[in-house]
Amino acid sequence: MAIHVVNEAKRCLNCKKPMCVTGCPISTPIPQMIQTLLSGNITEAGAMVFENNPLSLVCSLVCDHEKQCEGHCVLGKKGAPVHISSIENYISENYFDKISKENIKKNGIKAAIIGSGPAGITIAVMLAKKGYDITLFESRDKIGGVMRYGIPEFRLPKTILDRYKRLLLDIGIKIRPNTTIGGALTIDDLFRDGYKAIFIGTGVWRPNKLNIKGESLGHVHYAIDYLTNPDSYDLGDRLVIIGAGNAAIDVARTALRKGARSVSIYARRGTAAAGKREVEYAMIDGVEFVYFKAPVEITDQGVVFESTEIDENGHVKIIPGTQQLVAADSVIISVSQGPKNKIVSTTTGLDVDRKGLAVVNASGRTTRQGIFASGDVVTGPKTVVEAVAYSKEVAAAMDAYMQATKDA
């Protein structure tokens, strides 16, 4: 691994205008990172990357590098791009246990973080390093949010998230697991107890429906529910997945590893919404992709599909008279997710849009003073790195707000 990484690092052209950085949603200083590594300062390189992205260790594994940094590398135009993900992972892994955990001078100001997904962890780390007294509220028993309960183990080992928990505790962050805000505790309770600012990063855990007949049958499940705990499900031999995004592929590859013999992904269009590399891995694992098919009904025997075509305006059009039953022991629906509304329904002055997503300004301020939000609960399902990038701006806005109102 080390020889591979060094060889890859030496291939970097150290471009004056690095397109790899342009392609990175969080603008990781890739050439500087690589040159610092090659100069023998791997710890300095790690500190540089972590300062820019507290979840670099995660992002180096789960980002869509083919579309982002590596997809923009100039060497990829005529050959293979630099394998930036492996270099970043090696540096981040080396640095993680070296992260400074010295006592941070507390400023006496409390901030609450609701949700321990990518956005919540990012903001908790950034504010804790500035001296804020942070309490992180997580509705489940372990931290990580979508990283733990939505990304399979073979893509992101859960031991990495356990290490992040240790880091959070070491830098003075308090964690309250199994605590749902909007249940016994409300936002108003948090303000009453002295939290100067509150961040909402609860993600999107309510699966979207197809709204077709048969969706409530016993052999039908939703992707986000399945990925939360695959071992709870007995899918049988034949699985049909409706939807072709990244979550659908994660479901398919997980189901094959859990014993399913035949797994097919059905998409309304002629391509998968997931990245090309993810599709290729799924095909190698044995997943079948079937395009230009739309579900019209789910029965006890399987799914009734109709064929589709794309019209001149780019819209999906059903082809009449093409109904066909595809046999399946189980059906998993993977057509995105929306937010649950426990916090919204128990908090006055917090506006949401028609999809139930929190309404915020460019800095993550919601419509109620002192409450901020970012991540999927604002944007809908996005990538880990996109959530981290936006959350950095929100952390800065929360810091400015709390400093401006600390004597109020």
Query: Tell me: the pLDDT tens digits for 389-404?
Result: 999 999 999 999 999 9
Where in 262-301 does DSSP place strands (E)?
A: 262-266, 288-290, 293-298
Question: Is residue 193 helix, strand or coil?
Answer: coil
Distance between CA atoms of 185 and 175, rounded to whole angstroms? Answer: 15
Query: Tell me: the pLDDT tens digits for 26-45?
Result: 999 999 999 999 999 999 99
Amino acid at 360: V
Distance between CA atoms of 106 and 316, rounded to whole angstroms? Answer: 56
| pLDDT at position 77 over 70 | yes
The separation between CA 314 and the C-alpha centre of its own chain, rounded to angstroms, equals 28
Label residue 337 by pLDDT band (50, 70, 90).
confident
Per-domain residue ranges for the chain?
A: 2-96, 110-205+338-405, 209-335
| pLDDT at position 338 over 80 | no
Topology agreement, domain 110-205+338-405 and domain 209-335: yes
Label residue 345 by pLDDT band (50, 70, 90).
low
> What integer is the mean pLDDT of 71-93?
95
**CB 173, CB 136: distance < 8 Å:** yes
- Cβ-based burial of 218 (10 A; exposed 0-12, middle 13-18, buried ≥19): exposed
| pLDDT at position 65 over 80 | yes
| pLDDT at position 377 over 60 | yes
Question: How crowded is residue 81: how many other Cβ atoms within 10 Å of its Cβ?
Answer: 21
Which residue reads 């004056």 in tokens? 16
Question: Is residue 373 helix, strand or coil?
Answer: strand
pTM: 0.91
Residue 406: predicted pLDDT: 82
| pLDDT at position 2 over 60 | no
Label residue 321 by pLDDT band (50, 70, 90).
very high
Return the CATH fold of 2-96.
Fumarate Reductase Iron-sulfur Protein; Chain B, domain 2 (1.10.1060)
> What integer is the mean pLDDT of 166-182?
95
Residue 342: predicted pLDDT: 65
Residue 202: predicted pLDDT: 85
Query: Tell me: the pLDDT tens digits for 257-306?
Result: 999 999 999 999 999 998 888 999 999 999 999 999 999 999 999 999 99
Distance between CA atoms of 77 and 314, rounded to whole angstroms? Answer: 29
Could you give the percent of the chain with pLDDT greater than 70? 98
Residue 3: predicted pLDDT: 58
Label residue 308 by pLDDT band (50, 70, 90).
very high
Distance between CA atoms of 86 and 373, rounded to whole angstroms? Answer: 32
Which residue reads 């399987």 in tokens? 302
Residues 6+ apart with CB under 8 A from 29: 21, 48, 49, 52
Distance between CA atoms of 70 and 55, rounded to whole angstroms? Answer: 18
Question: How crowded is residue 42: how many other Cβ atoms within 10 Å of its Cβ?
Answer: 17
Name the nearest CA neighbour of 56 among 83, 94, 112, 18.
94
Name the nearest CA neighbour of 366 among 345, 344, 384.
344
CATH number at 110-205+338-405: 3.50.50.60
Region for 271 from its dihedrals, namely left if φ exceeds 0, alpha if ψ lies in -120 to 50, beta otherwise: beta
| pLDDT at position 61 over 60 | yes
CATH architecture, range 209-335: 3-Layer(bba) Sandwich (3.50)
Label residue 344 by pLDDT band (50, 70, 90).
low
Distance between CA atoms of 53 and 126, rounded to whole angstroms? Answer: 10
Q: What does the block give as tokens for 98?
A: 């070296």
What contacts 24+ positions apart, CB below 8 Å, involve 189-194?
A: 190/112, 191/370, 193/110, 194/110
